[in-house]
């Protein structure tokens, strides 16, 4: 490994995501149709005010999912103050969150998300669909 280089992986239901960059990074990916659980459970795991705000939206399911992937990415990065970017990859029907120490993130390009980190070099996040192979 390289000193100071952060790496994070995530996978769910045939989706995979990876991030690499200077310092701690975290990434999470979830299928768009997934729902993270009941409000009671989420309030025990996440900040109650954030759960209540997401639950009050017109479509609480997607809002709660975005909250979940953001928090998971921050947890994997090991810090709550990391810069956070959340996007929807419509082609892969996925919600993705990337947390890092300072990437200024552009939009995803064919599943790859270039993130320029000032004074620290580039960061990358990539998502893809995994193929099912017979066992």
- What does the mean pLDDT of the chain come to? 76
- Per residue in 42-101, pLDDT (tens digit) is 999 889 999 999 999 999 999 999 999 999 999 998 887 778 888 888 778 888 888 886
* DSSP characters over 11-78: EETTEEEEEEEES-EEEEEEETT-----HHHHHHHS-HHHHHHHHTSSSHHHHHHHHHHHHHHHHHHT
The structure tokens listed for 75 are 């947890």
Q: Minimum mean pLDDT among 2-6, 30-34, 105-109: which range? A: 105-109
pLDDT for 65: 92
Quote the number of domains for the chain.
Answer: 1
Residues 28, 76 contacting (CB under 8 angstroms): yes
Task: State which residues form the domain around 13.
Answer: 5-129
**Count of residues for the chain?**
135
Domain presence at residue 68: yes
Give the CATH number for residue 16.
3.90.470
Domain presence at residue 134: no
Domain presence at residue 97: yes
């Amino acid at each position: 490994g390289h000193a100071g280089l952060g790496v994070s992986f995530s996978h769910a239901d045939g989706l995979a995501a990876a991030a690499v960059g200077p310092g701690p990074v975290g990434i999470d990916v979830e299928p768009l149709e997934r729902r993270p659980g009941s409000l009671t459970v989420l309030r025990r795991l996440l900040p109650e005010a954030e759960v209540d705000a997401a639950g009050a939206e017109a479509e609480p399911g997607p809002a709660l999912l975005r909250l979940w992937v953001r928090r998971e990415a921050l947890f994997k990065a090991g810090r709550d103050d990391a810069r956070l970017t959340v996007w929807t990859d419509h082609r892969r029907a996925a919600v993705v969150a990337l947390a890092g120490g300072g990437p200024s993130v552009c939009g995803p390009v064919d599943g790859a998300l270039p993130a320029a980190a000032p004074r620290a070099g580039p960061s990358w996040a990539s998502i893809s669909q995994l193929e099912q192979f017979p066992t």
